[in-house]
A and B are shown apart, each in its own frame.
Chain A
Amino acid sequence: MKDKIEQIKMEFEEKIKGKSLKEIKELETYFIGRKGKVTELFKMLKTLPKMQRREFGAEINELKQFIEKNISEQVATLERKEKIRKLKEESIDVTLPGIKLHTGNLHILSQTILEVEKIFLSMGFDVMVGPEIEKDYYNFEALNIPEFHPARDMQDTFYLAKKILLRTQTSPIQIHAMEKYKPPIRIIAVGRCYRRDAVDSSHFPIFHQVEGLVVDRKVTFANLKGTLAEFTREMFGKDVKVRFTPSYFPFVEPGAETSITCVLCGGKGCPVCKYTGWLEMGGSGMVHPNVLRGVGIDPEVYQGFAFGWGIERIAMIKYRIPDIRMFYQNDLRFLKQFKG
């Protein structure tokens, strides 16, 4: 019996060497399966005398455990190897390009408008809108530009009918605002305007403006300057300054053309600012008493300021866009440059 046990152990040790997973399963059956060699030994045990049974029983058990342990160890090793092989097969070139879905962006005008609105909202300005088709009254007359006034020539107007036109500026929203609300009023309004301008790199019949209007008891020229200076710093950077030059817009007085430090040359002078160091942004001034009186606000009690800057102008300067027509050509190679 002892020899048999020894013999089986040697046989097992011999056979397990270099076997595959499948072969090991077969070995398992061959040695410790229901009809395996070790199982046979147990059966033979019954034929032995009682004394020997215990002795050999323990030895056969030992043999069985030895085989089981070896098999499971061997299986684990082989399985680990197999897993590594499989993973290796799945290896990829991580430098391959990623695959992208087309994503969307807001038009750069919208992005600019959002930024403008954000700054003014943070300064306590409500955002209003107004119609693009306007009555002559709102676009001109109520803004102190009566019929036949020479200032009408400053803005070539598209007409739809007698006294009905496409607004040439967002300033009519000032009148709507003052008709709708009592002072204090602090609003901006952004919108599309139309002028009968011949098309070139800086003129287009359609453009956008941001209009601002503040009316209260103690709103001063200094407040106008402070507000536009703050906006400019937020929009273009803290070193960019605002300059006021006297100008004429019938609905404000004192009226000013507002310029900012040329952001391309830092004010030193370059072709973009025509060597002046300044870039014109739009008009501003103190609301004319005639305009206040026209909407039933007493100019002796209330006063205010207003301004109107060009959105395209802001975007062209901020993002260095060379031609206003690009906004409306909507070439995807243009639009997709402005991620947002």
Chain B
Amino acid sequence: MLVSIKLLKMIIPFNYTAEEVGNKLSMLGLEVEGIRKVKHKFENIITGKVLEIQDIPNTKLKKTLIDTKTEKLQIVTTATNLKSNDVVPVALPHSKVANGTEILERDFKGMISQGMLCSYAEIGLDPEILSSEEKEGIFTFPLDTPIGKKVEDVLPIDDDYLELSLLPDRADAFYLVGLARWIEIIKAREEKRRADFAQFEDHSSINIAGETPIPIYIEDKTLCPFYSGRLIKNVTVSKSSLSLRQKLFMLRIRPINNVVDITNFVLRFYGQPLHTFDADTIQKEVIIRRAKKGERIKTLDEVERKLTEDNLVIADERGPIAIAGVMGGYETSVTEKTKNVFLESAYFSPHCIAKSARSLGIVTDASDIFERGADPLLPPKGSIIASNLISKEAKGIPAKENVVSFITPAEPVNLRLSRVEKILGERIDKEYVKKYFDFEGFDYKDKGEQLEVIAPSFRRDIEKEIDLIEEIVRMKGYNEFGEALIVDKLKAAKRTDYEDFIWKLKDKLVKIGLDEVQTVSLTSESLLNLIGYNEKDSVIKLLNPLSSDMSLMRPLLLSTLLPILERNKKMGNTDIAMFEIGKVFKKEEGFKETDELGILLSGKRTEKNYLKVEFAYSFPYLKGIFEDIFSFCNIAPRYVPEQLTWMHPYQSAGIYLDKERIGYIGRINDDILEKIGVIDKVFYGAVNVEKLMQHCNEKIQFKPFSLYPPVKRDIAIVVDEDTPEEDVRKAIISAAPPELKKIVLFDLYKGTPLPPNKKNLAYSLEFSSVHKTLKGEDINKFIDQLEKVIKEKVNGKLRKE
């Protein structure tokens, strides 16, 4: 919201700079985000009246005669919107328009133009706040605009605006008088006196003639506690006068016609939302009621809207003619042809208007104020102010208003001084509390240890004791309170076991040498298609995504890790070893979120070096990391070959704990990588973190180790090529004595001199005993047995060294 300092100063004098006002308001909770300074950029452009317009034959040009009070100028223009008597901006010879171009006398094929008539753009006006008529062709001023005046003196262009960002509890500052009241509070506080809000009241009386023949009925007084309707006869609907136009300009209201402009002005200036109907289109009566299901209305913006019981409407005999507090109806709106106006000034329930506006998806200035809480005592005054303005601007004659009111006097709010101290941690003297309430113009009665407080009717944020305590803090100053640490019995503070585990796991992964990444938890259809994720039905969709690339909740980390891989590779970060621990989401018994760990490797562990030593990431390396993690978590899962659409069909395995699949590892399918421009091999594994957690709390206890030197023995076994290595290893272990402490596969060989379809596995075995030094003979017996076991279990042959 932009607020004109110029206009503000017209109703409340102050000597602060714009920046100072901004800062003072911010410190009271009315956040001013900045100051916008506007200064006209044109030079020597004055107002002039069009006396004559003539077409120049065989051209699109027109010759005009312009009266600038001191002289009459011949000016050539291409504009088509001009009429005699229009008041327009005239750029005199040697003037400058807003973009800096200098205007000179010009010769149009023998026709001299002594200057130029200007459009809104040439005087640098903001199109946002202009009527459609003003934006077309040459800009036209109200008809009563004096001529020969500098444009910057006619339109209040040069001004400073406060950029106000108001929170929903500040309904009392959404309009100019409301904001002026806050400046009055600032002054009162500085001058240590009671705020005087009476200075902002309009005390003008109204001359009425006759009755308003349209009766008013309210169906539900909780939804509409007050409604005033007044007939204003014989109006002339036209353009607003200069004085009103100037105010609209400063309030940044787009002009429509004088009657509508007045209702908008009263809303933005005094804070009373109004609506005007063409009285002759209202059938018989006005009823304020809930809409019936299936009812429809064409609103002012010419949209046909379906109504529900959530909408409060103003209806006549035939049906809805306006959506109460939100937007008027098109059929009953005030137009140039309107002769008689029905002026509505009402108070509607905030909740009802909020619900109504939101159910239709409409936000208007009126609904903004009503839903935040308008001043329930303002409608009668609003009606008088608007009626007087309409009679002045549009020559209408107001009748006596019809009023239905269920407004009851406000209940006082009790404030216990003991409560103030208890909440704030500081005793505040009663006399100070009273002073604070004086600064804000609150009424109160001293009841000893309590104050009975009545806030002004526009302060809808004051309903309860706690609201008053907040006002004490606001007035004393948030930063005028002391700081105190909590003094309490000591106890050990901690994380949940699960969170503790996650941090330990992250620490372990970092120690292994992986970088943690954190990716967005939202993914897209196209990424899931790229991966070939086929459980589409269980993917959770956002109902209102911001963009298609963040429209789904990720069902697997890989979908958001791939773009990170792609980006890093493109940026030349070729060696990647990263992990993420994050939520993945699924439709399962409602919506389910679980933590997943994903590890992605590509490139090398080592930097390129002069020793020519390299350690390229590979499946076994990835598996080693997972084995480390599993051992850290006290689990020993199995690996079972499997095929996943996004993995290499013969380099991937499911990870099983008992019979449950808790994850998978392998190499990412090259086809997918090709599509994101990655040429290196990429290895990836993922596990469910909650499954890892199940055994992680088993306590680590010391196990004795041998104090005697170990005996080492290397063996080699030839088996069929497709025999899983794990089977061979298990066979060895099954035959081994308990003294076998370590078994390491140190060579794997296929090819000559081995027969085809055979492979050689070489193991290094290490034996030790806690009781004695082992001798060669102790092991020989086992090696002898092994030959038979290998033959039986894996159809292999032991080659003794």
Residues of A within 8 A of B (CB): 96, 99-107, 109-110, 114, 117, 120-129, 131-133, 146-151, 153-154, 158-161, 164, 166, 184, 186, 192, 196-198, 205-206, 214, 216, 218-223, 225-227, 229-230, 243-248, 253-257, 274, 286, 288-289, 303, 327-333, 335-336
Contact among B170, B354, B358, B571 for A248, CB-based, below 8 A: B170
Name the one of A101, A104, A229 contacting B511, with C-beta atoms under 8 angstroms: A104
- Chain B residues with CB under 8 A of A219: 486
* CB of B609 closer than 8 Å to a CB of A: yes
- A105: chain B residues within 8 A (beta carbon): 510, 515-516
Question: 20 additional contacts, CB 8 Å, given A132-B521, A205-B522?
Answer: A101-B615, A106-B507, A122-B493, A126-B493, A127-B499, A146-B351, A148-B371, A158-B544, A164-B591, A192-B583, A197-B546, A205-B546, A219-B486, A230-B485, A246-B474, A248-B29, A253-B470, A254-B474, A286-B423, A331-B573
Q: Does B21 contact A (CB under 8 A)?
A: no
Partner of B486, one of A150, A154, A214, A327: A214
Minimum C-beta distance from A319 to chain B (A): 15
| A299 nearest CB neighbor, chain B only | B466
Q: State in angstroms the CA–CA spacing of A8 and B606 once bound together.
A: 66
Contact flag A150-B372 (CB < 8 Å), given A247-B167, A248-B170, A335-B515: yes
**A-B pair number, CB within 8 angstroms:** 247
Chain A residue at minimum C-beta to C-beta distance from B351: A148
Q: How far is the CA of A223 from the CA of B422 in the complex (A)?
A: 12
Question: In whole Å, how far is B485's beta carbon from the nearest beta carbon of chain A?
Answer: 5
Say which residue of B486, B495, B541, B578 sits within 8 Å of A186 (CB atoms).
Answer: B486
Which residues from B are CB-within-8-Å of A230?
A: 485
**C-alpha spacing A289/B419, complex, angstroms:** 12
Q: How near does chain B come to A121, taking the closest CB pair, in angstroms? A: 5
1/0 per position for B403-447, CB-CB distance to A under 8 A? 000000000000000000011111000000000000000000000
Contact of B29 among A206, A246, A303 (CB under 8 A): A246
B37: min CB distance to chain A, Å: 15
Contact of B546 among A126, A196, A243 (CB under 8 A): A196
Which residues of the partner chain A approach B544 to less than 8 Å between Cβ atoms?
158-159, 196
Does B483 belong to the interface (CB within 8 Å)?
yes
Which residues of chain A come closer than 8 Å to B521, judged between CB atoms? 132, 192, 206
CB-CB under 8 A from A129, the residues of chain B are: 496, 498-499
Q: Are B516 and A121 in contact (CB under 8 A)?
A: no
Whether A160 contacts B564 by the Cβ 8 Å rule is no
Identify which of A106, A160, A225, A227 contacts B510 (C-beta below 8 A). A106
Separation of A132 and B522 alpha carbons in the complex (Å): 12
Q: Are B483 and A229 in contact (CB under 8 A)?
A: yes
Q: Which single member of A99, A225, A327 contacts B613 (CB below 8 Å)?
A: A99
In the assembled complex, the CB of A276 is this many whole angstroms from the nearest CB of chain B, namely 8
A92 to chain B, nearest CB (A): 11
B31 contact set on A, CB distance < 8 A: 245, 247, 257
Across the interface, name the chain A residue whose C-beta is closest to B512. A104
Q: How far apart are A114's CB and chain B's nearest CB, in angstroms?
A: 7
Are A332 and B473 in contact (CB-based, < 8 A)? no
Q: Which of B498, B515, B573 has the most CB of A within 10 A?
A: B515
Q: How far is B605's CA from A128's CA once the two chains are assembled, in angstroms?
A: 36
Whether B510 lies near A303 (C-beta < 8 A) is no
Among residues of B, the one whose C-beta sits closest to the C-beta of A126 is B493
Residue of B nearest to A98 (CB): B609
A330 lies within 8 A of B613 (CB): no
Contact status A253-B517, CB under 8 Å: no
Q: Does B591 contact A133, Cβ atoms closer than 8 Å?
A: yes
A214 to B484, CA, bound (A): 14
Q: What is the CA–CA distance of A186 and B486 in the complex, to the nearest angstrom? A: 10
Tell me which of A124, A192, A245 contacts B478 (CB under 8 A): A245
Q: Which residues of chain A are within 8 angstroms of B540 by Cβ–Cβ distance? A: 133, 160
Contact A121–B371 (Cβ < 8 Å): no
Distance between B542 CB and nearest chain A CB, rounded to angstroms? 5
Which residues from A are CB-within-8-Å of B29? 245-248
Most chain B beta carbons < 10 A, residue from A109, A160, A227: A160
Please report the C-alpha to C-alpha distance between residue A126 and residue B610 in the assembled complex, in whole angstroms. 51
* With A192-B521, A254-B470, A332-B576 as contacts: A133 and B593 at CB distance below 8 Å: yes
